[in-house]
């Protein structure tokens, strides 16, 4: 049985990596999928890979007005938005002694400010039974050297999810978070074998995660099967932050 039949789903940051796998999984489960990305060529390739029930929209997730405008267009065109997944994000290394205002603003701008106003724009089009799935990170709960700003941004997303879950529950809109650990996406292609082994040794499951596994978690939280799950954080980390 397709779990998202007749659902309209928007994945912000869905042209590659985890976001693309979520879009593919949602489409395979019957959803009408809209993905955003910054480059038309990447969107075209993503839509070709998804194969059906998918539309790509060029939009910079860091541009609050641009995303809000596109969400308004989507809501009016399709009449509703059943699922919102906010996946777009960024990270960069900087220890406390070297962090700059530009570094801070870049990470918090995309990872925190953008999701706030994307969600604000979307809820006007979300009927009872809708779901918001935020892509967080276990970085929000562990202290990783050089990634304090990134970790703080993901902790902020977790905090917002709790408040939004409380605020939106009376409207029948659920809010939850998927927090991946190290996931074997294209960004790991340039990682050395030593770094890969160091990360793997920290994971009780003994391997990096797969993007498809994050997509499965997002699908569950977006579907009616998770109808009584509100304000939760589902960690897809092989036990790294749990054990």
For 183, phi then psi, to 5°, come to: -120, 135
| Class of residue 130 by CB neighbours under 10 A (exposed 0-12, middle 13-18, buried 19+) | buried
Q: Where are the beta strands (DSSP E) in the chain?
A: 8-12, 32-37, 54-58, 83-86, 131-135, 174-180, 233-236
| Class of residue 68 by CB neighbours under 10 A (exposed 0-12, middle 13-18, buried 19+) | middle
- Catalytic choice (78, 93, 147, 150): 150
End-to-end Cα distance, the chain:
34
Check if 93 is active-site: no
Residues that are catalytic: 150
């Amino acid at each position: 049985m397709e779990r998202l039949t007749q659902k309209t789903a928007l994945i912000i940051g869905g042209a590659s990596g985890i976001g693309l796998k979520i879009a593919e999984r949602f489409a395979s489960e019957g959803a009408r999928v809209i993905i955003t990305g910054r480059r038309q060529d990447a969107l075209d390739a993503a839509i070709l890979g998804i194969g059906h029930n998918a539309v790509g929209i060029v939009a910079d997730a860091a541009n609050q007005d641009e995303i809000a405008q596109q969400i308004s267009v989507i809501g009016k065109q399709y009449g509703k938005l059943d699922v919102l997944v906010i996946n777009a994000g960024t990270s960069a290394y900087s220890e406390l002694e070297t962090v700059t205002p530009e570094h801070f603003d870049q990470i918090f701008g995309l990872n925190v400010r953008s999701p706030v106003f994307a969600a604000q724009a979307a809820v006007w089009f979300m009927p009872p039974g809708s779901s918001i799935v935020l892509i967080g990170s276990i970085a929000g709960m562990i202290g990783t050297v050089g990634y304090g700003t990134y970790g703080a941004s993901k902790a902020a997303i977790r905090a917002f999810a709790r408040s939004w879950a409380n605020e939106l529950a009376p409207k029948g809109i659920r809010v939850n978070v998927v927090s991946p650990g190290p996931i074997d996406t294209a960004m790991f292609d340039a990682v050395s074998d030593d770094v890969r082994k160091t990360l793997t040794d920290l994971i009780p499951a003994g391997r990096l995660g797969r993007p498809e596994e994050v997509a499965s978690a997002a699908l569950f939280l977006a579907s009616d099967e998770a109808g009584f799950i509100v304000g939760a954080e589902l960690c897809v980390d092989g036990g790294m932050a749990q054990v």
